[in-house]
Structure 1
Amino acid sequence: MFTRADLEAREAATLAPYATLSAHSRGRAYPEPESATRTAFQKDRDRILHTTAFRRLEYKTQVFLNAPRDHYRTRLTHTLEVGQVARSVALTLGLNETLAEAIALGHDLGHPPFGHAGERVLNALMEEEGGFDHNTQARRIVTRLEDRYPDFPGLNLTLDTLDGLNKHERSGLGPPSLEAQLVDAADALAYTAHDLDDGLRSGLLSPEHLAELPLWQELLARVPPQSPQLTERDRRTLHRELLGWLIQDLTAASDAAIRASGVTSAAAVRAHPERLITYSAPMRERLRETSAFLRENLYRHWRVEMQVEQASRLLQTLFAAFLARPSMLPPVVRARAEVDGLPRAVCDFIAGMTDRYATEMHAALVPPPTTVSWPG
């Protein structure tokens, strides 16, 4: 049986010198004994995996709201795909696979119902209270809102994992660890590949739409479709090839950047002025073009926009109703309002809802009109 000390020794012997070692973790806000058989980052990963917030990701939107079919990505399947990419690249680069996985599993915990549309609505509603951002909310969940332990709030994750969830508020902190940088890159990689795939599957995008997109042109040159019409098998083959191509580029470009930087420790990575997990310059341009294409042709497609409008009105109604009548809130939320103020407590409550629960709550508050039968 391997002990934690054995696992830490294995990391020290096998990982690259610039990887983040669990034995050198920066600790936890609340001191507690570490596991006898798991590293500190394994404990972080397991704690995130067992949260209520993680389970709710299954019923939170990625792109398509209230999708009537089971095949589209959800926030949970997206998270798992990010974790798979991060682990694969971490293994190749000699980084700490477990830390990368822990950060990947936690990176989207703060997303509200209805995807980025829900985030925009909550941010506008909370403008005078500090706004709303899903990355900040993820940290709030794991440091305060998850109530699972008697001796501390939240999950008491290591500062290394928490730093990885701190994607945008990095003033004065310098670049994060290579494992955290990797999750950030894997996130962009995963949603680029699977949003293209879901767009084609849904019919909102077609091969004709994509014909002028440089990434698509190069992808077809790498794997020409087997028939003039893009079949299901062709689409799956192209998606698989795109993932492999992006992962290969990310791995090779990051390895070159790390070597050129001369960093020889995790501390040197955090002191380095630039991020070292990166794509090649041509691929960065392809991803920029593709992101702009998806924004204009998929995320702003008229069918998606109708769903976005529906979700926006729904969340605005819920927010206003709970502010006007706090007695409708569960006791735990009312108790939190005593500490954080009513608007933030309501925002936390709504942000934690799944798409389905938010829809059911709205239907209970605003039932559909009863059909009237007129005499004669």
Structure 2
Amino acid sequence: MTATAPQSIQRITARQHPPVEATTVTRGQRADAGGETTERALGADEAFRDDLERIRFSPYYSRLGAVTQVISSNGAGQGVHNRLTHTIKVTSVARAIATGITRPGDPRRDLLDRLGGCDPVVVQAAASAHDLGHPPFGHLGESVLNRIARQRYGLEDGFDGNAQTFRILTTLDALHPEGGLNLTAAVRAAVLKYPWCRVRFPRPHPSEFAYPPRGAGAGDDDGGSSKFSAYFLDAAEMVDARAAYPGLPALRQTVECSVMDVADDIAYSLHDLDDFHRAGVLQYAAVATEFREWRAHAARLARQDLDTLTPDAPGRSLEALRRRIHAKDPWIADDDAFFAAADRVRTDLIDGLLAVPYDGSRAAERALGAFTGQWLARLQDAVTVTLDPHPRSGYVSLLPQAWHEVTILKFVHQRFVLQRPDLALYQRGQARILLRLVDGFDAWLADRADAARAPRRLLEFIDLATMGYDTIAGDSPDLLAGADPAARRRRAVGRGLIDYIASLSDARAAATADSITGRAERLWDAGGGL
């Protein structure tokens, strides 16, 4: 699988990682204030630990404590996860996996050594950073900002939480005089779960492949990838980070990144179930009926045209999931594993945990803790290392049985929580908050008499985007598809405004929207920080 890039961006196409001895210094390098790569006096391990602390001391990291994971604590009580508690648990799972597979005597360590090694501190740093770019109101906010960015400002690369994370680490955070946190190449590369832009880089673009890597498939009618890790503005930074791995295939995650990715899947599939059970929104009867009816009529459903069934017909959604796995991931899809995974989820989650309603008692907490702990331990042990993984997988991944189990767990909360009408009602209100913010700031920036009084950080972000687009116009104009100066300026305003709004917490977004639309009762409700 090869890919070409704009002339100003170097390709990375070699097939294997270099030995660990050849990468220690390079991976531990930082960029100095002039943009040149320099060797630090610190050893690589100390540099990686420094990176971890830079991330954890960043205001973008602290902000995650006030950003929705799936269900807002305001709407479902204080027991639910926010982006920070989710991040902490992903980091814990990632550390456990990384230390397990690098333990002396573990056969997986020999394979890792052939790939260049796996540094547990780099894994922890990547896990700590992986959600920094998520905007207010969780995935709902991501969807709304993506639509606004593309339709209103002509930003072909729209908005994506992964790309926003990389932009924060390399540009938006203010720790380093030149912007960003000045992290080592290893940590910057380890957050690149989807190492491509939404469209046009690299070329041929992975969304055009007959069998694209995971996340690279088309996301909507406008084309491009549904997931990506860098905007056009940050494509050169992405290539610079990955240049520390000259043997890494162009579209492949680093080893440390693949560990973080697996940990994110595990934590998301289990810890969000905690929230739904505590909040009482994951109802035993509905979930049990779906699994029972599918198991009882699996043969008939497998032969049936699902379009002839009503969307809520018991068993239909689980059968649709089985078929979707075969269509998207035939390399790992296995009906025996799917049936076994469905039976285990039914036994442990449905007939075990959900059969007894959560009542806030210590016994209920123990039951929830036992369920989560047992599943965590089993999934963390079901990790494998592969020298030449499938394009839709990573060097570190879950064994097929565990992969099917995680897929079904994620199906449960997608089908029985995220599709609930009451949640949709709540989210539509949150979407209106973001729209009011964009409308208000857009009108303010267009007011020549008063634009200079817009928040300083907003104006700085617009200036950063303007300089970035001007640079691309000179170095890689094909990335901008021939946009003229007026179009580039409009895109810079849009990118800077999206950068600003995405940096707000849920509460700050709501308060700022009230202020800019004249609904606030107090003068200092909005502020200008994170």
TM-score (norm 2): 0.59
* Superposed CA RMSD: 3.1
2:191 to 165, 169, 174: 165
Does the Cα contact within 8 Å between 1:249 and 1:279 map onto a contact in 2?
Answer: no
Alignment of 1:40-79 (within 5 A): 40-65=47-72, 67=74, 69-79=77-87
Q: Which residue type is aligned with residue 430 of structure 2?
A: A
Q: By how many angstroms is 1:63 displaced?
A: 1.2
Give the equivalent residue in structure 2 for 1:123. Answer: 146
* Alignment gaps of 5+ in structure 1: 1-16, 264-268, 371-376
Give the equivalent residue in structure 1 for 2:164. Answer: 137
1:176 aligns with 2:235: no
Give the equivalent residue in structure 2 for 1:12. Answer: none
Residues 110-133 of structure 1 deviation map (CA, whole Å, 9 limit, x = unaligned): 000000000000000011212000
Give the equivalent residue in structure 1 for 2:382. Answer: 253
Residues 224-273 of structure 1 deviation map (CA, whole Å, 9 limit, x = unaligned): 5699555544543444344444444444432xx42xx4x5xxxxx79999
Q: Distance in 1 between matches of 2:436 and 2:68?
A: 19
- Look up the SS of the partner of 1:353 in the other structure: coil
Q: By how many angstroms is 1:103 displaced?
A: 0.4
- Look up the SS of the partner of 1:85 in the other structure: helix
Q: Which residue type is aligned with residue 439 of structure 2?
A: A
Alignment of 1:179-190 (within 5 A): 179-190=256-267
Larger RCO (CA under 8 A, 6+ residues apart)? 1
Does the Cα contact within 8 Å between 1:89 and 1:251 map onto a contact in 2?
Answer: yes
Q: Which residue type is aligned with residue 285 of structure 2?
A: E
Relative to its length, the structure with more helix (as a share) is: 1
- Look up the SS of the partner of 1:126 in the other structure: helix
- Look up the SS of the partner of 2:48 in the other structure: helix
Does the Cα contact within 8 Å between 1:82 and 1:104 map onto a contact in 2?
Answer: yes
Q: Which residue type is aligned with residue 253 of structure 1?
A: A
Q: By how many angstroms is 1:138 displaced?
A: 0.5
Alpha carbons of structure 1 residues 35 and 204: separation in structure 2 relative to 1, 3 Å: same
Q: Distance in 2 between matches of 1:273 and 1:225?
A: 32
1:303 aligns with 2:422: yes
Alpha carbons of structure 1 residues 235 and 174: separation in structure 2 relative to 1, 3 Å: farther
Q: Distance in 1 between matches of 2:390 and 2:437?
A: 45
Give the equivalent residue in structure 1 for 2:503. Answer: 352
Residues 324-373 of structure 1 deviation map (CA, whole Å, 9 limit, x = unaligned): 11226312321332342211111011000000000101111334599xxx
Q: By how many angstroms is 1:29 displaced?
A: 3.2
User: Which of 27-36 and 95-104 deviates more?
Assistant: 27-36
* Alignment gaps of 5+ in structure 2: 1-18, 33-37, 103-117, 197-201, 203-248, 292-341, 446-450, 466-491, 522-530
Alpha carbons of structure 1 residues 34 and 319: separation in structure 2 relative to 1, 3 Å: farther
2:276 to 199, 207, 222: 199
Paired residues, what number?
Answer: 342
Alignment of 1:1-376 (within 5 A): 25=27, 27-30=29-32, 31=38, 33-35=40-42, 39-65=46-72, 67=74, 69-94=77-102, 95-127=118-150, 128-129=154-155, 130-150=157-177, 152-170=178-196, 173-211=250-288, 212-213=290-291, 214=342, 215-219=344-348, 224=352, 232-233=361-362, 235-254=364-383, 257-258=384-385, 261=386, 263=387, 274-326=393-445, 327=451, 329-340=454-465, 341-368=492-519
Q: Distance in 2 between matches of 1:20 and 1:321?
A: 52
Does the Cα contact within 8 Å between 1:189 and 1:246 map onto a contact in 2?
Answer: no
Does the Cα contact within 8 Å between 1:193 and 1:242 map onto a contact in 2?
Answer: no
